[in-house]
Chains A and B, each alone.
Chain A
Amino acid sequence: MQTNKGAPKIIARKRGNVFGFWFFRVLSKLFGLRGAYGFLYFVCLYYLLFDRQTTIGALAYVRRRFAGSGFLRSRFYIYRLFISQGKQLIDRYVAISGNVRFDIKLEGTGQLFKLLRQRQEGFILLAAHVGNWQVALTTLKNLNRTVHLVMRPEDNPAVERSLHISKEGDFVRIISPEADLDGIIQIMHALKEGDIVSIMGDRKYNFDALNVSFLGDKAYFPYGAFAIAAAANCPVVVLLSARISYKRYLVDVRNVLYPRYTDAAGKQEELRNFVQEFATILDRYTQEYPYQCFLFHDIWKN
């Protein structure tokens, strides 16, 4: 994060709205989950043909992950990405509505419990636009800690709706990164109180970022999460999730990083190593789940 007073706010275009969610909910009730998925093939074709901004955003990833693909093949990969994301949006909605039960395989949660037992302070949960991070987040409910999501106000309504955050006593709260110092103070206080602070680690928006290798090219990743962890002396737990088959998900929290400064003069360079480690984890993820990276934004361009 940075002090960005006066900087233009980035308005993200959201695919999926109240009507869309209602429509797919009705479809899933009438025709089951597979029936709702079926309709996605038409909806995604529409997005592929007419949502130029998202298609171009996805192309930045596709060009690097599937290097050497021609025009038609790269569009086909984008189409598969859209369908994959659509399925996960439907899954997220029905999972949270409680209509359908999903089998979620957890990896590394034992380690998380151990971390929480050992420490009074909390930790940073570093998420990314891969898999179904909202579903992954719901699995952390039994850690019995409040989770603070650092996200922009315009992202709030969709996430609030999908996670039912507005309910009193919920374990998820929102911290706005645009709140400048307020946001930092809230994050630091939450960590001190032993809570979990979830930050998206793969989109820099207009925040400070470092240039590291990702999918064979130099990409810009924000380093705020690592700077906070180094200052607050807390670990960074990488949250990954993936749809492994019909109604089955994997939530992986095995990767834990411990950013620390050893040389006060080269803090940024030291942070770069941790940012690179995170990018490498994501790189490995995209090799395994190429159609679950929903980074519809050119992070290789500064």
Chain B
Amino acid sequence: MEDKKEQELDEIRKKLKELLVTNLNLENIKPEQIKDNEILFGEGLGLDSLDAVEIVVLLQRNFDLDVKNMNEEKKIFYSVDTLSRYILEKRKR
């Protein structure tokens, strides 16, 4: 059961990294170079709030997820891992 969850998470992380590189036009970065726990905004990957716009749209279009509860869900934007866990959790509902 845990293995299956981990496998699903891995797939989501991989897809997410590819989508980030493609949609955010991250120059000189390959999807596999992004670490699972790397901070997305500010330090780390250095994304800004306009990139957040793209991520919100990316979640809507690719995972059919609507981020709306700011207080609870802003922490999901911390890293690829937090985003992936959020996607997995919402998918299962």
> Using a CB–CB distance below 8 Å, which chain A residues touch chain B?
1-3, 5, 179-189, 192, 208, 224, 227-228, 231-233, 264-265, 267
Contacts and interface: CB of A to CB of B under 8 A. Distances in A.
16 contacts: A3-B41, A3-B42, A3-B47, A3-B48, A180-B49, A181-B49, A184-B52, A185-B52, A185-B56, A185-B70, A185-B74, A187-B53, A188-B56, A192-B60, A208-B48, A228-B53
A222 to B, nearest CB: 10
Given A182-B74, A185-B74, A231 B54 contact: yes
Interface in B7-58: 22-23, 25, 41-42, 47-50, 52-54, 56-57
Interface of B: 22-23, 25, 41-42, 47-50, 52-54, 56-57, 60, 66-68, 70-71, 73-74, 77
A289 to B, nearest CB: 32
A118 to B, nearest CB: 20
Contacts of A224: 49-50
Contacts of A184: 49, 52-53, 56
B42 A188 contact: no
A188 B59 CA distance: 11
Contacts of A180: 49
A179 B70 CA distance: 10
Nearest to A192: B66
A184 B66 CA distance: 13
Contact of B66 (A5, A189, A227): A189
